[in-house]
Structures are given as structure tokens and as C-alpha cells.
Structure 1
Amino acid sequence: MNSIAPASTAASLDDPFYYLANFRFVLAWVEKRHHDLLAVEERHFIERFAALSRASQALLVRMVMRKGELFRLDKLVYAEIGDSATAMAPLKALGWVDDAPELTLDELFDQLRLSELRQALADEIRQTPLKPSSAKALLREKLTARLSHLQQPLARWWPEATTVVVRLQVMALCDRLRLMFFGNLRQDWAEFVLTELGLQRFERVAFNAASRAFQSRAEVDVYLHLHWLRQRLDEGESPASVYAELPPRADNAWLDARRARFLFQLGQGAERAGEARLAVTLYAEADTTEARVRRLRVLEREGHHREALDVAQRALAGGPGEHEAQALERLMPRLAKRLGLAPVARAQAPAFERWELTLPGPQPVEAAVAAHVATPHAPVYYVENTLITGLFGLLCWSAIFAPLPGAFFHPFHHGPADLYRDDFVSRRREAFDACLALLDGPGDDYRQRIRATWTEKWGLASPFVHWAALPETLLDQALVCLPAAHLRLLFTRLLSDLKTNRAGLPDLIQLFPQAAPGAPRYRMIEVKGPGDRLQDNQRRWLGFFARHALPVAVCHVRWQREAPSEGEELTP
């Protein structure tokens, strides 16, 4: 029997069987690292696949990598495979392909051309007022009521059929193997191709026995069950019936986080369906920041003010994060007023510098402000959510990509799988502390670390570094102008809530490399065009800048309708 040998991470596209090499790589990886999670059927599949001829292997993989489970044999034409019927025969013998599957009317319409449908359904069409020349959509609409109950092989639909339709029977099995490899069903075989094309490059992370997404077969089953429930919800099934089949919490942190996200989606569906009480239940069980905030909003909207206030007070006592605290600060005064309680004072928002500009337009507002404010010695860059996060990602690269259990499962990770879990930072506390400590020293160790990482890792996928937005010129100027103490403050806030705080940073940065000693050498600028308002995450970042005396301004722009008169323009 032939054995399945691991290939390189991504096979060369010069090899006409590159896709087969990649599939075999996945099988070898799963067989080696997940052998204890494989059922007898899956082990037999891997063994029998290895025993097939290359042509049969390749044809199967071609189908696996295409969309759906139904295929016309006359469309499975590949030069490197040769005769598809010959390559298909062993797959039929194994039961992996059904060459006479029962087809619904919708499946028949999906597989046949209009001219073929007119032949296959000629008798049925004659029994309707339709013309034989009717369009495909009209034929489907009019025949559905008459034929939707039928499910039969193509030979019954069309005895004179000139093609063969087959159904792939092992797609679910292959999806399970793909899930065990990637740890999700979002990534597919295209990851290999994009890597070989050089469009994606990934950090190399060491793997060990604990470096896999699932530690038991039951966990794989839970993931697939959640995926199936999500499909049912997307197809219009009621949130209540889907919720009734939700599996219990798993003893797997990242899988449990996925379950919580799905509970939030169910809650949103219940809200849309007008099932407020169910939505409250779902949000309470999800118990994420977003879900807790949404639960309070539903309670308030439904008039359950006392219940909402009790929930809000418990949340406030629990030390909420900034996002949740901001929502509570807005909600509690309203609830107190409606309940006739003593007024709840709102915290005073920190003040920050405000500009108003009248500029020629309309045009991209950030570009207009940058062009107006910049000078030869004080350049302005558009850096929204890329510069600060990029510098953070470069300084803390080793901590972010630390090969901890449950963080990396395969060679195609854009970032750690546990990136947004509550324990992401705590699991790497010592590593992050060591990185941030470089900002405390008297020298420029942190600059050297950031520059070295930029050079060594350039182009590798990162959840924080967007290489196109961080050219070397900007990097060098930013490292000159942004004080280490300021970077420490900014990075510390990022680490307090990576998912929420990576967004909302100001649009522009102006750098003053020639500023006098003691003067600020940069300022962040949030730009708002006509009718645009500050978002909550932007307000939180602006408040942070103001509280720590970091230079920031908010620039409100209006467009001039004609040439401005002297003195009309207000400049910063």
C-alpha cells in the first residue's frame, strides 16, 4: 500500500498535481497529530485514499475542493487526470461517489442547462401554459408546485440524458479532516495556493503534542454541531428552536468562546423576531461584553427598568472594561430617572483640543486635512488603527506568536487562535512584560527591537502589523518622535482589551522631528467630515489621550462652496 508522505507546506503551482500534494499534506498532518481523534471510517479513508491511483486521488480532491456535492461528469475535465470516467470508477467502488444520486427539482435545475431542461421536462412543460422558450427562472417557478415533491435519479428525470451527474459522498468526512487541520471551517484549501503565490506568508511557530485545536473527538463534534446550528439559523429557523439544541459549555476555552459568540448571534436573531425575553436569556448566557450591554438595552427598551438597574449595578460592581463602563455610565442615569431615584451624576468627559476647518471640497476628508496641515518639516500620515497597533505588534511579536497550547494548530495562522480570549494576555504576561520593559530603559533598545522585527518579519501575516501602512520612512520618523513613555501608555491600553481597543485610534498623525527640546514631537488628529460624529471607541481613545496629556485634536471639517473670503477659514 502506498503511504501518504507529508509535502512541503504548500506545493509548487508548477506541479499540475499541486492540489493533490496539498491535500495529502493535510491528511498526513491530521493522521500524525490527531490520530486518537479519528474514527475507524476516517482512518480507513486515509488508508484507502493512499492506495488509489494518482488520477483517482486527484479527481476526488478536485471535487472536494469545489463547491457543493453534485458534479456533472462532463465538467470534470482536467488535462493532468485524463479520462474522468476511468478515474471515477474506483471512487464509485469505494462508495465515495454515487453515480445515480436522487435529485430534487432544484438540484436538477442547478445541474442542467436550459436546453437540457426543455428536453428533460418537455412533457411537464406541455401541461402548463408556459412556452417551450420560457426562461430558466420562469420554468423553475412554474414547475416547483407540480414537481417539488419528487426526488429521483437523473435517468428518471431524463431517460435520454446525455450527461451523468454524481454526488460526492465523503464531503462531510473531508470537512471534518479540514476542521481538525485548521481548527475552523473558515479557512480552506486556497490557503495553500495563496501561500505558494506569495500573497500570504506566515510566521513559523513550533508545534508540539498540545498544539492542536481539539483534544477530544467530542470537541470536534461540538464545533460541527455549532456550525450546523449556525447554518440553520442563517436559513431562517427560529432562534428558539436552534437554542433548544445548543450543546452545553465545553471544557475548551476557545470552543466555549465560539459558543458564546453564537449565543450572541442567537440573541440578535431573537431581537429581530420580537422575542425580547428570549434575547435577554441568550445574552445573559453568552455573558460577553457585547452581550451584557445588549441585554441591558433590551431590558430598558422593554420597560424592565428595575431589572435593568439591578443588572447594571452588579456589572458596575464587577469592574467592567471601558466599553461596558461607557454603556453603564449612559444607561444608569436614565434608569434612575425613570424609577424616580436620586439622579446619577455622569462622569465629566475629559476635554481635548478641537479644530474647525473650512476646506475646498467635497473630497476625501482625511486627505484634505492632511494636505492642509502638513508642512515640509511636519509631515502628516494617515495611520488610522495601523501605526500604534503596528508598533505594538513589532515590539511584542515574540509574545504574540509564543507557541502556547491552543494558540497555533497549523502553518497558516494569521495570529493566535486565542487572541481575543479573556486569558490571552494573562497566559503571556511575563512575555509581554519583558517586551514593554524595553520601553522603560534609558537607551533605545525598544527602537532596535522594533526595527529588527520590521526587517526580519516584513510581509508575514500579523493581526497587528499592516505592512503596506507602515513603510520604513514612517517607522523611522515615528520612533524618533513618539516618546517611549507614551508608547508604553498606548500599548498598555491596547493590552487591556485587544479586541475593542485596536480600533478607534485617530485618523492622522503629524510628526515634528525638528521640534524644540521639551516640545511635543507629534500629535494625533481625529477627522470628522460634515455630519460625521465621534464613535464610542473613538471617544474612549480621545478620553485616554486627554487624561494622560497625550497630544491629540479633533478636526471638524466643512466644505466651502466657493472661494473663501479673507478670514473665513479657521485654522488650528
Structure 2
Amino acid sequence: MLLFLQDMANNDKIILPEKYYLDNFKYVLNFVLDKYEPLLSDTEIAFITNFTTLSEDGQCLYVRVSNRKGQFFRKEKLIYPEITNLDEAHEELLGRNFLVSKPFLEIDECFQLINIYNKPEIIQILKPLDVEVDMKLKKDELILDLLESCDTEILQQSFYTDSIITQGAREELDMVKLFFFGHNHGDMSDFVIRDVGHAKFMEIDESKLGTSFDSREEAEAVMQLSQLNKEFYLLEDAVSPLDVYEWFKAIEIGYFLNMDKAKQRADKLLHKVGYHLEKHKYFEEALELYHFSSASPLRERRIRIYNKQKDFDKSLAQAKQILEDPNDNKEYYIAQDVINKLDKKLKTTTLRQKEGITIPVDASYQNRVEQGALVYFEEEGYQGYHSENSICRNVFGLFFWEEIFDPKYNSLHQPLQRNPSDIYGKDFYEKRKDAIAEKLQNTKSKKQLSKILETSAQLHVGISNPFVHWETSMLDTMWQFLAFAKLKQVKALLNEMAIDPKNRSTGFPDLFVWKEKEYSFFEVKSPNDHLSEKQLFWLERFQEWGVPAEIALVEWR
């Protein structure tokens, strides 16, 4: 049964309970233990169990620390009125390993430790050490200089005092949060956003919620990839590209690529590392990485390297392979352009842009080109709106609301989920194509279409949907478009977007303008702007369906 949060955005300021964060934390622990206990390790179960036996002050202090950014905190800087005795809570957590004292710090940890002090405090602590560093340096530069010129152990002894609080059980908590949120960037602040009314989420009977992971192996793979991403960010500026390459070769990337829940993250890591090598002109090494997967944009990157190497046969072969089964619109047009170039034709996007109409726009709009173009059309007697993607996304999100959020597709895993987990993957359409086709087939009139949209908007008003913009002006413009569009045009649009919501929910023309019984979309281009592959895709689809759409080439006056 679907339930909906009441709209609180316009209410008086909401005051949360004093220990709201503790209630939310306990909810997460209980949720994960109930739904994922068979997948939890013994240490994670012990973490959850032992947390419940802490004093309330101890629980509050641990949650407060775990919700803060960073690894080290100064006890004297932690002021929480609801914690009766901070010192006792601190000692309790130390004795139970929920807070720890680290005997040895890595270089990056030592940086984090010193960074919790301000610069005058750092200088004061350094005075007895007789350290030769330039005290005029900025704080970050001063710390880096210290780490290069001083023994790490001495720095740790000087800055790591008994009043330093260091969170324990980090790995256990990170896994618990991974199971709850389904990804590594989950944030407990989502509870606050919901509770103060800044966002409204779909509420679904928890018995109908799916699971983020079906096996422990999947969860560990996602966690490992998160750690590898962090390692890469540390390495890319610290070591040579060849060292990064050797680091990556030691990773069994094929293991992650063969796992459904990890593949998308593994593809992203491949792209990041490959592009890092490519930027530094290690083309063969980059190509080696790009050949591990055919995901977008790895095949596109191969083409770009082949062209730089003037290996046009391989470039053409790759382009033909893409055209047989493109991942997305951008990849398709890039492959098409490879073939056009060999035939000495201009880029597909360039050819289409040359067909646009030229409009004079006052030069004062150079930083607001779409607004300037809208002024031009208004002077020509049109009404208009800078709609960009909002019109089509609103129609899609409202029409397919039930199909997007239906829990039977196992894409809703927790109550704070803004987007179904498969919303931007290829599985979205595969799971729902029968329901999508049936709904489109059963919508036989514009009146029926409008009724579906109106009912959806009234029933779900204000609730977070990845496609719907609830601003009144955006919804009004959607209705204006629907007043002009034919049913078959709208149905074609909806079906096209559903096939690939990730890549086909953007790239729509900037402006929507109308006058009496005529209307048009316009993609606005300043003299130095170029048409993208996504934008070309929608211009071609609109032309195919008879939806008026054009390129407006701005000429400054």
C-alpha cells in the first residue's frame, strides 16, 4: 500500500526531537539486521548488538562522531547539550572499541590529524620541536611541508593527545550503511531532509521493499570498488601515470565486471584510470584498459585514440561495430561521424547546426543566451518558456509514475530512496517493457492521457521523482505543450524515453514558444556553441514525428 508524506514545506519551522539522530541511527541498524542478517559478518552483527548495550550518552556520542566528516576530532570542540557527561561517554566508548586510540598513523591520516587544528595552534605546538618550516605558508601547505621534513612519529606524539577522539568500528558501520542505502555515498542527513519537510519520499510498506544485494559477495565487491576509487584519487596526483597503470593491472577487474551489481562501478573506474593514462599520452596502456569492457564511453575513447594514432582502419572497424549495437545516442553519432569523415563529410551535428535559423539578439544577453533568444521571440509576438528538459521529463515522470516506483521490480530497497535503483540502467526498460507497452496501448485519447497526468500530479504532489519538477511554471508549460501536441506524438516521446531514461531524458531543446495555433521548440546556439549528440537525437526524433523543432543561431547585435 502506497502512503505519502504530508507537505510540510510551507509549515512553521519544524523542531526535531533532541535525540532525533539516535532514533534514525537505531532505525537503520534494526532495518539492516532484519533484512540482511544472513549477509552480515559476525563482526557487523556484534557491532549492532553491542551498540544497543551502550549507555544512551555513549550511543549519542558515537552517532554524533560518526555523522561528522573526518577521522579525528577534539573532545573540547564537541559540544552536545543532550549528552549529560561527555567524558564518561568518551571513556565508555574507548573501553568498548567504539572509539579508538591509533598507535600508528599513515601519512594521509597524519595530515587529517594536524588539519583539525587551526594554524596558530599548529605553530604553538611546533615551537618546542625546533622544526624548520616556513610558518608563513598557508595551512595546507604548512602541513604538507611538515610531513615532508619531520618524522611522522614525532608529529603524531605532538598532535595526538588524550583529548583526540577517533571513531572505531568504521568498517562495520560502512558496511551497515552500504546495505541500507545500496551505495557508498548514503548520508544520514536524508532523514533530516525528510523530517523537516525539505523533501518528500514515497513511503512503501516495508514488507514490499526489495534488497540492495542478494549476496555478501556483491556487497563486498561494491565496497572494494569504493576503496579502489579512493586509492586512485590519491595516486593520480602523487605518482607517475605508469605507476597508476601498474597499480591498476594488479586489480582483477574482470571479477568486478562479471558481477551485475558491481559492473557499472567497475566500468567507471576503468574510464577514470584509462582517461588519466590517455591525458598523459600513454595511449597503448589506455587502450588496453578500454578493451576490458564495451560500456559507454569506452568504445568512444578507443576511436579517439585510433584517430590520434592515425589508425583509421581500426577506427572505422570500431565505428561499424558501434553502429550495429550502440550503447547510447552519443556513441551512435560519434561512430556515424567517423564514417562521414572518411567520406569527407562534415560532422553530423555540424551539418544539422548549419540548417538552423539566425536570430538577432542584444549583446547584453551574452551570459544568458537562452533568455535573450526568448526575448527575441516575445518581440515577434510569441509567448515562451525556457523549458529545456522539464516539459518532456514531467510528462514522462507523471505518466509512468506507477511503473517507475512499483516495488515488484525490486528497485526500491529503503524508505529514503529518491530514485529506483535501476532508473538509469538498461534493466529499467527490460523489466517494465510489457507494462509500458500496455499503458501506452490503452491510452487512446488525449483526454485520457491528460486524466492520467492530472491524477498522478494530484495524488503525488511534491513527492520526489527523478523526472518531475514541481514548480508551477514548469507544469503549466507542460500543459501548454500538450494542448498543441498530437496523441501519437506524445506516445512516441514516452516510448522513446522509456527505452533509455539515463540518456534520453536530457538533450531536449532550450525553448518552447507558441502563438495562437502554432508552436515550436528551439535549441539555442551562441556563435561559439555547438550542437551535442543528445540534442541532435531529439531534433531528429521531433522531425520524424512532426513536432516543430529548430535550431536558433544567435547573432549578437
- TM bin (shorter chain): 0.7 to 0.9
| Residue among 308, 321, 338 paired with 1:301 | 308
Match of 1:312 in 2: 319
One-letter code aligned to 1:197: V
Match of 1:454 in 2: 457
One-letter code aligned to 2:539: L
In the TM superposition, residue 139 of structure 1 has moved relative to its aligned partner by: 5.2
- Give distance in 2, aligned partners of 1:367 and 1:505: 16
Match of 1:214 in 2: 213
| Residue among 102, 109, 112 paired with 2:114 | 109
Deviates more, 1:542-551 or 1:135-144: 135-144
Change in CA separation of 1:354 and 1:15 when aligned onto 2, cut-off 3 Å: same
| Residues paired across the two proteins, number | 534
Match of 2:17 in 1: 15
- Give distance in 2, aligned partners of 1:346 and 1:250: 33
SS at match of 1:166: strand
One-letter code aligned to 2:373: V
CA contact (8 A) 1:525 1:553 kept: yes
SS at match of 1:235: helix
Match of 2:62 in 1: 60
Match of 2:423 in 1: 419
- Give distance in 1, aligned partners of 2:189 and 2:521: 39
In the TM superposition, residue 122 of structure 1 has moved relative to its aligned partner by: 2.2
In the TM superposition, residue 146 of structure 1 has moved relative to its aligned partner by: 3.7
Question: Is 1:529 aligned to residue 531 of structure 2?
Answer: no
In the TM superposition, residue 371 of structure 1 has moved relative to its aligned partner by: 2.7
In the TM superposition, residue 99 of structure 1 has moved relative to its aligned partner by: 4.3
Question: Is 1:291 aligned to residue 298 of structure 2?
Answer: yes
| Residue among 230, 240, 250 paired with 1:244 | 250
Say what the alpha-carbon RMSD is for the aligned residues: 3.2
Change in CA separation of 1:385 and 1:40 when aligned onto 2, cut-off 3 Å: same
Stretches of structure 1 lacking an aligned partner (at least 5 in a row)? 1-7, 338-342, 516-520, 561-572
Q: Within 5 A, what are the aligned runs for 1:110-189?
A: 110-125=115-130, 128=132, 140=143, 143-150=146-153, 156-157=157-158, 164-189=163-188
In the TM superposition, residue 218 of structure 1 has moved relative to its aligned partner by: 1.2
| Residue among 32, 35, 45 paired with 2:47 | 45
CA contact (8 A) 2:201 2:415 kept: yes
Match of 1:510 in 2: 513
Match of 2:447 in 1: 444
Deviations 1:371-401 (A, max 9, x none): 3323898521111011011111111111111
One-letter code aligned to 2:265: R
Change in CA separation of 1:37 and 1:346 when aligned onto 2, cut-off 3 Å: closer
Deviations 1:384-442 (A, max 9, x none): 01101111111111111121454111112221111222221011012211332244x14
Deviations 1:192-230 (A, max 9, x none): 111112111112345557711111111111011101111
- Give distance in 2, aligned partners of 1:187 and 1:510: 40
- Give distance in 2, aligned partners of 1:262 and 1:469: 40
Deviates more, 1:307-316 or 1:484-493: 307-316
- Give distance in 1, aligned partners of 2:411 and 2:137: 56
Deviates more, 1:65-74 or 1:548-557: 548-557
One-letter code aligned to 2:279: R
Stretches of structure 2 lacking an aligned partner (at least 5 in a row)? 9-13, 237-243
Deviations 1:488-544 (A, max 9, x none): 1222222233222212111111234x42xxxxx421111122322222221222122
CA contact (8 A) 2:340 2:346 kept: yes
In the TM superposition, residue 170 of structure 1 has moved relative to its aligned partner by: 1.3
Question: What percentage of residue pairs aligned between the two structures are identical?
Answer: 24
In the TM superposition, residue 450 of structure 1 has moved relative to its aligned partner by: 0.5
In the TM superposition, residue 344 of structure 1 has moved relative to its aligned partner by: 12
Larger fraction in helix: 2
In the TM superposition, residue 39 of structure 1 has moved relative to its aligned partner by: 1.0
Match of 2:376 in 1: 372
Change in CA separation of 1:178 and 1:212 when aligned onto 2, cut-off 3 Å: same
| Residue among 528, 535, 538 paired with 1:538 | 535
Deviates more, 1:26-35 or 1:36-45: 36-45
One-letter code aligned to 1:503: T
| Residue among 260, 271, 285 paired with 1:278 | 285
Match of 1:3 in 2: none
The higher radius of gyration belongs to: 1
TM-score w.r.t. the length of structure 1 is 0.85
SS at match of 1:509: strand
